[in-house]
Structure 1
Amino acid sequence: MVLDARDIEIPLDSYVRYVDTGTIGKVVDEKTQDGIDWVKLDKTNMWYRAKLVELLDKKDIKKSAYYDREDDNDVDVDELKEKAMKFEDMELSSHVAEGGG
């Protein structure tokens, strides 16, 4: 039995959040190695210490427009590049906002 940061059992196919970075993913595997419990998340394909993740209710999971689409797990690189170009075209000025007082 693998427990999360709040000592709640983490079942396979449940969703967890890595507390240090906020990474959310579905648990696809779990293991205990040298007395430490680990869970593997589908989104990153990486292992996380179970004591550093927290179990989520399905209602707490917000979908990302780029990555968490159930029908498509690929990131649209062209869409991301287009959004990045919009940021490059912004003009920054020290005269835009003045502090009060």
Structure 2
Amino acid sequence: MDDPQIIEALDINGDAIVPGTVLRYINTDTVGRAVDIKEEDGGIWVLLDATDLYYNVEVLVITDPSALKEKKDEEKSDFNAREYAKRFESDDLTDDIGQITGGG
């Protein structure tokens, strides 16, 4: 039985990427953990759990795991804002507020 081929994946700084490594996609600041590494079409690609997409290692940089928490906090804040807006959304608020705000 042959062992699967080990693929050497290096980020843009030349640091080794292994499954579980926290990475940042430099074009959009997407942060996720490496799930899979494959070699295809002449390049080395890493699957990030955050997007379920493969990224070429040439556009990935290893980052601090705290970046994962920061992204989750941002998503949570965005979700809370949308939920707050939904809760207070009402047809009763269709009055002209020009009188209240002093607008003309």
TM-score (norm 1): 0.64
1:65 to 56, 59, 73: 73
**1:44 aligned residue:** 51
Query: Which 4+ runs in 1 deviate beyond 6 A?
Result: 75-78
- Normalized per residue, the structure richer in helix is 2
Shift of 1:35: 2.0
Q: Any idea what SS the aligned residue of 1:65 has?
A: helix
Shift of 1:66: 5.5
Residue 59 of structure 1 and its aligned partner are, at CA, apart by 4.5
Q: TM-score, normalised by structure 2?
A: 0.62
Q: Which runs of 5+ in 1 are unaligned?
A: 68-74, 89-101
**Partners of 1:76 and 1:19 in 2: CA distance:** 23
Identity of aligned residues (%): 30
Q: CA RMSD in A?
A: 3.1
> Is there any run of 5+ residues in structure 2 with no aligned partner, and where?
1-7, 90-104
Q: Which amino acid aligns with 2:60?
A: V
How many pairs does the alignment contain? 81
